[in-house]
């Protein structure tokens, strides 16, 4: 037997992890990386048999060199261990590698670990098992379902709405949530209400109350407060003439329990609220924490696997946590009985919740190792985990009722009696303001006021709120949340403005069309059913073909009907106008395209005049000439914002839109033009870039600063600002 054959080969996804595993496993082990997926459905065809529903896989073009290297390296080993991530995707990666490398003289084993630490890797290598084909089938079923929807329906969108669009089994349902929320906001009718506030005083202590009851009927909150000024004035009139007394002071202690340890969705939502991190940033930082940092000369993972929807914690981790709490805060801080949490229905229990790999690595000890963002997320995870085994917090809640005539006001306050778990995780314990010590008896009315307010609609989804809603409705899985949102933004179906997701015009039209033609496929309930079905496949209770057939049968029927209605649908997407083409004089048509509605010449293809629907009728920009052929330029709207294009269909020259302000850099002869950043944000830069790198985020104003003489100013929300002297201009 050769020297290499006496060793064991481990194949893992990441080259960074490969180095760590090699150092942990030591002599007798070699480790190589596959760099993620090596095989998938073909790129240029559907790759799924329409009768058997069986997939056909090919080596990814970018991975041919990697696969060739893996085959060459593996040929020298008898024992090969596959160690991709411990989830369905990881299991599938292992199976694909096995299918490419399998040989009669080789033994293949599967290694699964939930954290990258020496003990976890050693234990996993000693407990290697077979590839779980049920998990592989679940991943294949999901992949095939997504491929069937994408490849069957997306071409329909190209023929009806615009090229480059796509439909997705989960993606379109997530977009539907955003569109439906937008419609609810636009159709919302505000209702007037008049909350009434009263300030009272007893023995020198002042406290504020809200109207609670009027003539025996509840009146607190926007639902019960007086709906008109006349009714509010009536309450005020009676209140001013009444004699007031505190009729009851009700004090109760309430227990607050800590929340469960983080799962993927709760981590993303909480990081968004507390740390202002988007879900994608949160997962990128969590990935770093999982893969590890160098501690005492050894790379060590700091948290467990971050793609999970289970709140389960392994017993050794719980015991270690409880021992840490006892040593640091004393036995009285430890919850007497081990606190366990129940995962939501449909959660996969393949691996643990997100927790620190070693509770003794406190955030204080990690300050010298982690940068601020990694430290903040690690601290949040560590605090949440430790809090799970600490005693409940005790909150004293006081409710005071003040009565006069037919009017009752209420005041409520809270204070912390026992901090409990909030010693380590105070962000979990939110309490209202405290009210002074009061007793039943007379009080003096100090102030009385009513303010007109209007009910507000639900807010648009933030990225984190959409993740939370997807989790709640069982749309997608932890590994897909970030990629789904990224796809919606990439396809310009949604736009992120003020940290909220706004559906674009093309997003709304696409959603309406898909829901109308494929109501069963893009239904929230049906999508959730498919997720449950995939879970049954993963547990061996359903077959791959049963799962895929449940999607394919209604898909095929809906697609057949949609194709029959294609002429009708296409005709409905075009609207005649009374405006003539400024280039050839033929009538313009209103059409829908990839970037929304636009006007196009009915003389196409001989005349290619187009312009966005919301742009002014003067589509030709007469004061800007094409640098290539000297003809007029057209203002157009593209994926990355506005731009100028030559009006001659034979000329392909384009350029950014000038804003009429010269570059302020001394000696530069350029002018400022509109540009769009990689993240889709509008900015303004010099037309002579890269020779001149001057750029600014805010819109420039062609006006000299009266203070310092700087040649331009900028437009801000609060007014006009000078970027040179850094002051607002009156």
As a three-state string, the secondary structure of 199-265 is: EEEECCEEEEEEEEEECCEECCHHHHCCCCHHHHHHHHHHHHHCCCEEEEEEEEEEEECCCCCECHH
pLDDT of residue 219: 77
pLDDT of residue 618: 47
Question: pLDDT band for position 297 (50/70/90)?
Answer: confident
Q: How many whole angstroms separate alpha carbon 671 and alpha carbon 486?
A: 34
Q: How many whole angstroms separate alpha carbon 422 and alpha carbon 675?
A: 48
Report strand pairing: 671-676 vs 641-646.
unpaired
What average pLDDT does this structure show over 419-442? 94
Examine the pLDDT at 619 and tell me if it is beyond 60. Answer: no
Q: Is the dihedral of CA 290, 294, 300, 302 positive or negative?
A: negative
Q: Exposed, middle or buried by CB within 10 Å (0-12, 13-18, 19+), for 34?
A: buried
3-state secondary structure of 549: helix
Examine the pLDDT at 518 and tell me if it is beyond 70. Answer: yes
Q: How many whole angstroms separate alpha carbon 27 and alpha carbon 18?
A: 14
pLDDT of residue 655: 87
For residue 609, indicate whether it is catalytic: no
pLDDT of residue 606: 85
pLDDT of residue 631: 83
| φ, ψ of residue 251 in degrees (nearest 5) | -115, 130
Q: How many whole angstroms separate alpha carbon 445 and alpha carbon 443?
A: 7
Buried b (16+ CB within 10 A) or exposed e, 91-113: bbbbbbbbebbeeeebebbbbbb
What average pLDDT does this structure show over 86-108? 92
Examine the pLDDT at 347 and tell me if it is beyond 90. Answer: no
State how far the alpha carbon of 184 is from the alpha carbons of 181, 459, 531, in Å.
5, 10, 27
Cβ atoms within 10 Å, residue 49: 10
Q: How many whole angstroms separate alpha carbon 208 and alpha carbon 432?
A: 13
Mean pLDDT of the chain: 90
Question: pLDDT band for position 1 (50/70/90)?
Answer: very low
* Cis omega (within 30 of 0) for bond into 690: yes
Beta bridge partners of 601: 588
Question: pLDDT band for position 498 (50/70/90)?
Answer: confident
Examine the pLDDT at 4 and tell me if it is beyond 90. Answer: no
Percent of the chain with pLDDT over 70: 95
pLDDT of residue 708: 87
Buried b (16+ CB within 10 A) or exposed e, 630-667: eebbbbbbeeebebbbbbbeeeeeebbbbeebbbbeee
Residue whose pair of structure tokens reads 């990666």 in the numeric block: 93
Q: What is the 3-class SS of 97-111, one letter each residue? A: HHHHHCCCCCEEEEC
Domains of the chain in start order, with CATH, are: 8-131 (3.40.50.140), 140-188+463-567 (1.10.460.10), 192-257+393-454 (2.70.20.10), 264-387 (1.10.290.10), 575-655 (no CATH), 659-729 (no CATH)
Active-site hit among 156, 193, 305, 493: 305
Examine the pLDDT at 223 and tell me if it is beyond 50. Answer: yes
Question: pLDDT band for position 122 (50/70/90)?
Answer: very high
Q: How many whole angstroms separate alpha carbon 707 and alpha carbon 723?
A: 12
Examine the pLDDT at 18 and tell me if it is beyond 90. Answer: no
Angle of helix 171-187 relative to helix 505-517, nearest 10 degrees, comes to: 110
Q: How many whole angstroms separate alpha carbon 208 and alpha carbon 270?
A: 32
Start-end of H helices in 404-504:
463-472, 481-490
What average pLDDT does this structure show over 318-326? 96
Question: pLDDT band for position 507 (50/70/90)?
Answer: very high
């Amino acid at each position: 037997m050769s020297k290499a054959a006496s060793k064991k080969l481990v194949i893992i996804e990441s080259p960074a992890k490969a180095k760590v595993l090699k150092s942990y496993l030591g002599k007798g082990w070699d480790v190589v990386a596959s760099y993620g997926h090596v095989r998938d459905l073909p790129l240029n065809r559907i790759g799924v048999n329409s009768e058997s529903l069986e997939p056909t896989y090919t080596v990814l073009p970018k991975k041919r060199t990697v696969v060739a290297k893996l085959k060459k390296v593996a040929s020298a080993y008898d024992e090969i261990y596959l160690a991709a991530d411990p989830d369905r995707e990881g299991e599938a990666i292992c199976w694909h590698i096995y299918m490419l490398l399998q040989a009669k003289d080789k033994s293949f084993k599967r290694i699964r670990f939930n954290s990258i630490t020496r003990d976890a890797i050693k234990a996993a290598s000693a407990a290697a098992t077979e590839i779980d084909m049920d998990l592989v089938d679940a991943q294949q079923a999901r992949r095939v379902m997504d491929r069937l929807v994408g490849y069957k329906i997306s071409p329909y969108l190209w023929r009806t709405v615009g090229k480059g669009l796509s439909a997705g089994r989960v993606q379109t349902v997530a977009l539907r949530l955003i569109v439906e929320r937008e419609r609810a906001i636009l159709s919302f009718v505000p209702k007037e209400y008049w909350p009434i506030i009263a300030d009272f005083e007893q023995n020198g202590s002042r406290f504020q109350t809200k109207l609670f009851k009027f003539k025996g009927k509840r009146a607190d909150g926007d639902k019960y407060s007086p709906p008109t000024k006349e009714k509010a004035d009536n309450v005020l009139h009676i209140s001013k003439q009444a004699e007031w007394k505190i009729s009851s002071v009700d004090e109760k202690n309430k227990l607050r329990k800590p929340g469960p340890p983080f799962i993927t969705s709760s981590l993303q939502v909480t990081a968004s609220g507390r740390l202002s991190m988007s879900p994608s940033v949160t997962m990128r930082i969590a990935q770093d924490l999982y893969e590890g940092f160098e501690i005492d000369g050894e790379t060590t993972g700091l948290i467990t696997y971050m793609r999970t929807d289970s709140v389960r914690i392994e017993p050794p981790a719980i015991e270690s946590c409880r021992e840490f709490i006892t040593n640091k805060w004393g036995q009285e801080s430890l919850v007497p009985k081990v606190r366990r949490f129940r995962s939501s229905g449909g959660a996969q229990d393949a691996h643990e919740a997100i927790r620190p790999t070693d509770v003794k690595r406190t955030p204080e000890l990690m300050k010298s190792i982690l940068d601020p963002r990694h430290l903040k997320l690690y601290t949040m995870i560590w605090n949440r985990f430790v809090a799970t085994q600490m005693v409940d917090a005790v909150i004293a809640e006081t409710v005071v009722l003040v009565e006069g005539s037919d009017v009752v006001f209420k005041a409520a306050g809270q204070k912390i009696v026992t901090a409990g778990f909030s010693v380590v995780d105070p962000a979990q314990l939110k309490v209202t303001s405290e009210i002074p010590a009061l007793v039943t008896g007379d009080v003096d009315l100090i102030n009385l006021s009513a303010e007109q307010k209007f009910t507000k609609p639900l807010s648009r989804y933030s990225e984190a709120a959409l993740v939370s809603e997807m989790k709640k409705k069982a749309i997608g899985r932890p590994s897909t949340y970030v990629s789904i949102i990224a796809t919606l933004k990439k396809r310009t179906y949604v736009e992120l403005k003020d940290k909220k997701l706004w559906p674009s015009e093309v997003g709304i039209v696409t959603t309406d069309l898909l829901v109308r033609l494929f109501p069963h496929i893009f239904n929230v309930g049906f999508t959730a059913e498919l997720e449950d079905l995939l879970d049954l496949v993963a547990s061996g209770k359903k077959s791959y073909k049963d799962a895929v057939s449940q999607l394919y049968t209604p898909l095929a029927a809906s697609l057949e009907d949609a194709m029959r209605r294609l002429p009708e649908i296409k005709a409905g997407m075009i609207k005649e106008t009374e405006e003539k083409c400024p280039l050839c004089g033929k009538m313009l048509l209103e059409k829908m395209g990839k970037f929304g509605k636009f006007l196009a010449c009915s003389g196409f293809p001989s005349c290619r005049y187009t312009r966005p629907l919301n742009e002014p009728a003067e589509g030709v920009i007469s004061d800007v000439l094409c640098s290539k052929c000297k003809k007029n330029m057209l203002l157009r709207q593209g994926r990355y914002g506005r731009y100028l294009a030559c009006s001659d269909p034979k000329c392909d020259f384009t350029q950014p839109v000038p804003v009429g302000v010269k570059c302020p850099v001394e000696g530069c002869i350029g002018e400022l033009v509109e540009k769009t950043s990689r993240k889709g944000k509008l900015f303004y830069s010099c037309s002579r870039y890269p020779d001149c790198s001057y750029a600014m985020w805010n819109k420039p104003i062609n006006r000299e600063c009266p203070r310092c003489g700087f040649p331009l100013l900028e437009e801000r929300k609060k007014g006009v600002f000078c970027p040179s002297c850094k002051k607002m201009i009156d």
